[in-house]
Amino acid sequence: MKYEAFNRQIIKLVGGKKNIKAVVHCMTRLRFTLVDDKKAQTDKIKNMDGVIDVVNNDVAYQIIVGTHVTDVYDELVDMLGMTSSNELTNNDEGKKKNPVKAVMDVVSESMTPLLPPIICAGLLAALLSIVSLTGLISDSSSTYKIFDTVREAVFFFLPVLMAMSASKRLGVDPYLGVTLAVTIVSQSINGVKGLNLFGVPLPQITYANSFIPILLALWFMGYVTKFVKKIVPDKVQYFFTPLLIMVIMIPATLMVFGPLGFYFGEGIVGFFNLLMKYVGSWLVMMLYSALQPFIVMFGAGNFIMPIVASLIATEGYDPAFISSCTISDIAVGGAMLGYFLRAKKNSKQKQLFGTVTLSAIFGVTEPAIYGVFVKYRRPFVAVMIGGGLGGLFAGLTGVKAYSVAWGLFGLPSYIGKGNFTNLWLMVSAVIISFVGAAIAAYMLGIPVDSEDSEQILENDKKDITINENGLRAVPLKSVVTGNLIQLSEVNDKAFSSGGLGKGIAIQPTENNIYSPINGTVSVVFPTKHAIGINGDNGEEILIHIGIDTVQLEGKYFDLNIKQGDIVKAGQQIGKVDFKKIKEAGYDITTMVVVTNADDYTDVIPSENKQVNNSDSSMNIVLG
């Protein structure tokens, strides 16, 4: 197994198999539902080779690994011994859960497996539009109709697909869940007028092309399943449990959950139609196109899919969201092209920017967002400018998405029923977003951290020393007064192995924390135990205060800096009560690491045994 070692480490760092309730994946990330999020060692996971970033919010515990996530996930499933794509063999009954988080978990994890067939249907519709317009296949031919049936079937049988995806997650036998779904979409029930059950008239409801009614029914079916299993003797459960469940669920679905879900879906569509009618689709599209990278970053990108599915099922098109997704994705690609053109000398940066440019244009933006946007921040502004302009244009001109297909390959689906005007307007919106974001990113520029180190050395030599051998070096002052020790002596393999970079460690004897270098604060962890500083000469410095002190959640830490602040070497940036941390049972050893040490000739620790904030703790040799 190619990813066995990687997955084994992931399982360990998220708290072990018993801490994993469920796991699914999307295009670039593993989405865990953990029993206790606090058991996951997020910092260590972020530092693993092959992990782009970790996002932990009310949706899920998400580990971003890249577009090869499917291969990683398949091996992870085998190693965990999962009984399905949504449930492990462990049990957490009786555990109190946040109801909002529970709903978000179910919707997100149930929609994710449905994306491949939905995207397939969208791209197939785009392909059929092209071949029919070229005259290769007539839209009245049997060949065209057969392939178009795939697209129609995906949405018509959406309740069945949802039942397959959500049943195990909601504690339902998947075959019974699918049985309920195919029953309500059958021609005897779906959209039939004048039905009654036990003499009670039933509303005329079209269950096909929807998913909310079956999702609500499956939720209730989970409770019914538990109840029936308790009252039916073990010896006859095989025969009577399925029967009783279906006898209860058919009336409950047709009388309660079906109508409730149908009208709820109609309400969602009605709300957005009113919003677009009286406020304007231009505002919705402009805001979503501008802000989608933030939505993706928080792992909530899939939450528009239920709305999109409802809109396409009822209106025949989506007037806002899928178009906005494509416009925003292309804007991300434009921003990365702007950075690619701006990075003149740094070959590593050019390679990174070029790679993520292509993936964003094709509809996968996570590598750009987590690999570049989070680090440099300015591309967010570029996408807000470019994406906002493109979304505004698309909204004002009434662009519509006739199927679920985003990115460059999804553009032909905007032809619709021969509507070339809609296609050209969408292409224009995409060009506006791409060019606008590229120009904005180029003008905003790359923050000075490693772009033109040679020019930096010429312009700012006050931090650079030259020894007797003619080697140039940047001295780093001590971050805290104390006893200096070798990094290899630290009781944390992530640091002692040198895996995070070269550096030193200090056993503090005072509480004040100082900046070791002139630069910009790149990150301050919410728990305040770790600080990142990008030096003026391109150095990337990580200050890690104590070992496992992330568990203190900021207690005993008092920092007076925030992300983006400019700091000077020797400047006090905070205070830490090391005595109380030590009394709480934690190792107070403080590590200072040059995380991009490979970019330099060497990192040499000071020979001093004791250091204070005015002393040099190590030197970065530039060559």
Q: How is residue 292 written in tokens?
A: 């989608």
Dihedral angle over CA of 274, 277, 280, 285, nearest 10: 60
The CB-side HSE value for 170 (13 A sphere, CA atoms) comes to 29
CA distance 36 to 19: 6
Q: How far apart are CA 333 and CA 265, in angstroms?
A: 34
- Please give the Cα distance from 410 to 329 (Å, whole number): 12
d(CA 418, CA 130): 10
Report how far residue 105's alpha carbon sits from residue 122's, in angstroms, rounded to the nearest whole number: 25
Phi, psi of 371 (to 5 degrees): -85, -25
Instruction: Check: CB of residue 445 under 8 Å from CB of residue 341.
Output: no
Rounded Cα gap, residues 11 and 19, in angstroms: 9
Query: Tokens 């040679």 belong to which residue?
Result: 454
CB-based burial, 533-548: b 16+ in 10 Å, e otherwise? bbbbbbbbbbbbbbbe
Query: 559 has which bridge partners?
Result: 574
Order of strands, sheet of 572-576, starting from the edge strand that comes earlier in the sequence: 512-514, 572-576, 557-559
Catalytic choice (14, 24, 26, 437): 26
Q: Give the whole-angstrom CA distance, residue 162 versus residue 168.
A: 11
Return the residue matching tokens 């001093």: 608
Are the C-beta atoms of 556 and 480 separated by less than 8 Å?
no
Cα separation, 147 vs 332, in Å, equals: 33
Q: Is 325 labeled as catalytic in the residue annotation?
A: no
Task: Report which DSSP code applies to 64.
Answer: E
- The residue with tokens 């999109």 is 308
| Cα angle: 170, vertex 175, 181; to 5 degrees | 80
Cα-to-chain-centroid distance, residue 273: 28
CB atoms within 10 A of CB 453: 18
The one-letter code for the residue type at 86 is: N
Is the Cα torsion angle 110, 116, 117, 119 positive or negative in sign?
positive
Residue 279 near residue 38, CB atoms below 8 Å: no
Cβ pair 197, 249 in contact under 8 A: no
Residues forming the active site: 26
